[in-house]
Amino acid sequence: MDATRLMLKTVLDACQTRHAVLANNLANANTPGFRRCDVPFRAALNDAIRGGDRKALEQFSPEILEDRTAAVRNDGNSVSIQTELGSMMDNNILHGAAAQILSSKYERLKKAIKGQ
């Protein structure tokens, strides 16, 4: 698999992981003491891509971290429904973009194979 496709698949996987973490935040929006978590994978992924290290990309596993900057309410919960939904939409867009580019790559590959 070429480097671009590997990168795009890694982005897809990271977006899916982030979606699960944001889903967990929302499921626990009313759980006392629950602190929101996130998956800040973009910086780490950028580094892996720029470093050109193929192995780093193949083994890239996005980290799930507690968000220490989120404001905590009286019941100890730090989830804001608006924030989660906003992050989720961002994440969805990135996922869509990666999927679309991957799709068009496969389209071109199929056409090349068919000799078009």
Partner 1 sequence: MSGDSMLIPAIGISSSGLDAESRRMEVTANNLANAQTTKGVDGQVFRRKEVVFAARATETRMGREVPAGVEVRGVVDDMREPRRVYRPGHPDADPDGFVQMPDINPVEEMVNMMSATRAYEANLAVIKMAKTMATRALEIGK
| Binding interface with partner 1 (CB under 8 A) | 6, 9-10, 12-13, 15-17, 19-24, 26-32, 34, 37, 58-62, 64, 81, 84-85, 88, 92, 95-96, 99, 102-103, 106-107, 110
Q: Is 35 within 8 Å of 72 (Cβ atoms)?
A: yes
CB of 69 to partner 1, least distance (A): 19
CB of 4 to partner 1, least distance (A): 14
Burial 28-66 (b: 16+ CB within 10 A, else e): beeeeebbbbbbebeebbeebbeeeeeeebeebebeeee
Between CA 70 and CA 40 the distance in angstroms is 14
CB of 104 to partner 1, least distance (A): 10
Closer to partner 1 by Cβ: residue 46 or 100: 100
Q: Is 41 within 8 Å of 62 (Cβ atoms)?
A: yes
Q: Is 37 within 8 Å of 64 (Cβ atoms)?
A: yes
Closer to partner 1 by Cβ: residue 69 or 82: 82
Tokens of 5: 């496709």
